[in-house]
């Protein structure tokens, strides 16, 4: 029997990589039903100040195709508690790169009050969509200059 009935995690899932797969797999190992919130382009633009390389509809399709994922929803706000009010999950899963941040300390307090556990997984070092995107941008710019 798994520890949680319903789990939730979110992400941009731009330039999908092994770190994304790791968090989805680890989350599913702990819950019967895994809901994944995929950030809309507007949400990403709001907090990262950039537009994802892969369009939202394609990122949703990629995450839906992952065998560890039971349900995919758009993440239209960074407010995780608002998501809980709609989805009523028992646990929220996240990479530990956010652990200890002011934003996540506040989220943990809110969730603790309603019995939702915050579960952190080790961040996959050396792999990130930001790094992949930066490399891709550099290569594309070099190709333009070479023409």
Handedness of CA 104, 71, 74, 64 (dihedral sign): positive
Q: Has 86 been annotated as catalytic? A: no
Q: Has 48 been annotated as catalytic? A: yes
Q: Which one from 48, 49, 88, 110 is the annotated catalytic residue? A: 48
Q: Which one from 3, 5, 50, 88 is the annotated catalytic residue? A: 50
Q: Scanning the structure block, which residue is given the tokens 């934003």?
A: 103
The dihedrals phi and psi of 23, each to the nearest 5 degrees, come to -65, -40
Question: With contact defined as beta carbons under 8 Å apart, do 7 and 94 qualify?
Answer: no
Q: Would you name the residues annotated as active-site residues?
A: 48, 50
């Amino acid at each position: 029997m798994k520890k949680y009935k319903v789990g939730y995690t979110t992400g941009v899932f731009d330039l999908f990589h092994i770190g994304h797969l790791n968090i989805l797999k680890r989350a599913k190992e702990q819950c019967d039903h895994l809901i994944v919130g995929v950030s809309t382009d507007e949400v990403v633009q709001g907090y990262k100040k950039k537009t994802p390389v892969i369009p939202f509809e394609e990122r949703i399709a990629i995450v839906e195709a992952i065998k560890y994922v039971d349900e995919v929803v758009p993440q239209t706000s960074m407010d995780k508690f608002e998501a809980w009010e709609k989805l009523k999950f028992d646990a929220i899963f996240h990479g530990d790169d956010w652990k200890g941040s002011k934003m996540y300390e506040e989220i943990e307090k809110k969730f603790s009050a309603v019995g939702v556990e915050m579960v952190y997984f080790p961040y996959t070092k050396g792999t990130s969509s930001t790094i992949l995107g930066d490399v891709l941008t550099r290569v594309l710019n070099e190709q333009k200059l070479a023409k």
